[in-house]
A and B are shown apart, each in its own frame.
Chain A
Amino acid sequence: MSFFINQLIIGIQLGSQYMMMALGLTLIFGILDISHFAHGHIYMVGAYLLYTFSVLAGINYWVALPICMIILALIGVLVERLVYRPLRGSPSINTFIAAIGLLLAIETLVRGIKKDAVRVPVPVDRSVSVLGMSLEVQRIIVILGALLILLMLQWFIKRTRLGIAIEAMAQDREGASLVGINVNRISALTFAIASALAGVAAVLMAPLGAITPEMGNPLILKAFVIVVIGGLGSMKGAIFGGYILGVIEALGVAYISSTYKDVFAFALLIVILAFRPTGLFGERAA
């Protein structure tokens, strides 16, 4: 039983990471109909920024967190402005190729600077015992940190003028411009938010594993699976889908085999799409 609960907590922690990534993707998809495949690499850049600030520059982890978020937000704005905006209105294959190109460029650039895997020390290097099993404090930090970010995002999207404008634009782009919403500004804002979310995920998760130039690849695949499972453009779907996948993966690894770690996501995708082609909360078919 305690083993089960321990795995469940690990699953929720994984799910927290997935959720933050999927939320960003689904926000961007909702606003711009773009599949931002380079989002996992934005996460990777976040992890390296953390390494740069906390290991190389010796800045406190908790100070590095907001710095990484802000830098990633700016990178997100640039990506929208320089890569995706010029392609607006062109066939979606062009955007697709641009996203893949961007992903490769980022990965090559980072590998050129630092080829080997690096590590960031855990800010709170302790374990607590949960029902007789020991659990790293960092995992709890990930879960609570993600929850806090989630609540803030919900408040922003549901309660503030700019947040509501993001939803309005996702629901009717022309309607949004007709009430005076500057759709370019809202697109940039959405990219900033999504990239900052990737930054939080990266900074919280990085101390738990190795940082490599390729680390974004499995993550982006899973985040996309979650976006499809949850329903394209649906925030609720990204949240539930993220936690569901995290838990299934952790339990699958514990009770079936860790060999299939990255396969559970696709099994879940096939099963859910068979029953609900629009995803759990979506209106459009994937």
Chain B
Amino acid sequence: MLELRDVRCSIGKHEVIHGVSLRVEEGELICLLGANGAGKSTLFRTISGVVRPRSGEIIFRGEPIHRLGPDRIVRLGISLCPEGRKLFPRLSVKKNLMMGAYTRYRNRVEVKMSFQEVFELFPILEERLDQDAGTMSGGEQQMLAIARALMARPKLLMLDEPSLGLAPLVVKRIMETIQEINRRGVTILLSEQNAAMALSISHRGYVMENGKIVLEGSSQELMDNEEVKRAYLGA
């Protein structure tokens, strides 16, 4: 469904992604592990079109997308729930969700259904509909960020460290919900530093270090890998 071929990106003058290749098949839940500064966020922003790769190809459902802008890529069916959430803090929860469906304004009935779907996944959002996004707790904001990304009806949902800074109980809820979203047919690419949690819900994973993929395999293989155990699972 998504394929990256030798993608390189720079921020300013510095190359930070040094030739990454990876594949995501339809229906998979893939995790991308990596320490601080490994380049996970940059890679996601590149797939979304916010950052242009300096070379390499990104193919989504047979179509090259590495030259498209973010608005086109959303329309093709890739949504990013970014690190730091990037919500609209002084807009209500409802308006944040409406903006999530920005590309789908022609089909009001379907957008209504999407509202129902995200309320099913995150009932708290329905209660907070008129509250400003910026005034909610971190966990609620993360839920809103995921919900907003879902409002675009993505085929591929990318989640950049959704557990960052949240209490363990909230993290567990969010991970379960991510799994549920995947079961409903959305392909997921999830970046995490919380490797144990991510591997426990994903099918396969990649490990990224210093802008390169250094390891890949099924989640079980990664969990058993000595390197991964030492560096990411704290064993």
Complex: A181 Cα to B82 Cα, angstroms = 15
Are B86 and A180 in contact (CB-based, < 8 A)? no
* Cα–Cα, bound, A182→B72 (Å): 9
Q: What are the interface flags for B77-91 relative to A under an 8 Å C-beta threshold, 1 for contact and 0 otherwise?
A: 001101001111111
Residue contact B86 to A175, C-beta cutoff 8 Å: yes
Q: Are B71 and A180 in contact (CB under 8 A)?
A: yes
Contact B98 A172 (CB under 8 A): no
Contact (Cβ within 8 A) A181 B99? yes
Nearest-CB residue, chain B, relative to A173: B86
Q: Please, which residues of chain B bring their CB within 8 A of the CB of A272?
A: none
Interface size on A, residues (CB 8 A): 17
Query: When each residue 92-116 of chain B gets 1 if its CB lies under 8 Å from chain A and 0 otherwise, what string results?
Result: 0001001110110100000000000
A177 to B45 Cα, complex, angstroms: 11
The answer to the question of A131 belonging to the interface, with a C-beta cut-off of 8 Å to chain B, is no
A140 within 8 A of B: no
A74: CB under 8 A from chain B?
A: no
What's the interface size class on B, roughly? 20 to 34
Q: Which among B74, B79, B85, B98 is the interface contact of A161 at CB below 8 angstroms?
A: B98
Q: Bound complex: CA of A237 vs CA of B71, how far in Å? A: 31
Q: A161-B98, A174-B50, A175-B82 are in contact. Are A181 and B71 (CB under 8 A)?
A: yes
A70: chain B residues within 8 A (beta carbon): none
Q: Would you list the 10 A-B pairs with minimal beta carbon distance, nearest first?
A: A175-B86, A180-B74, A180-B103, A177-B70, A182-B71, A171-B88, A168-B88, A180-B71, A180-B102, A172-B86
Contact at A178–B91, with CB atoms within 8 Å? no
Residues of chain A in range 125-178 having any CB-CB distance to chain B below 8 Å: 161, 164-165, 167-168, 171-172, 174-178
Question: With A164-B91, A171-B90, A171-B91 as given contacts, are A176 and B99 in contact (CB-CB < 8 Å)?
Answer: yes
Q: Is B48 positioned at the interface, with any CB of A under 8 Å from its CB?
A: yes
A56 within 8 A of B: no
Residue from A167, A178, A181 whose CB has the most chain B CB atoms within 10 Å: A178
Measured CB to CB, the closest approach of chain A to B203, in angstroms, equals 25
In whole angstroms, how far apart are the Cα atoms of A21 and B91 in the complex?
25
A182: which B residues are within 8 A, CB to CB? Answer: 69, 71
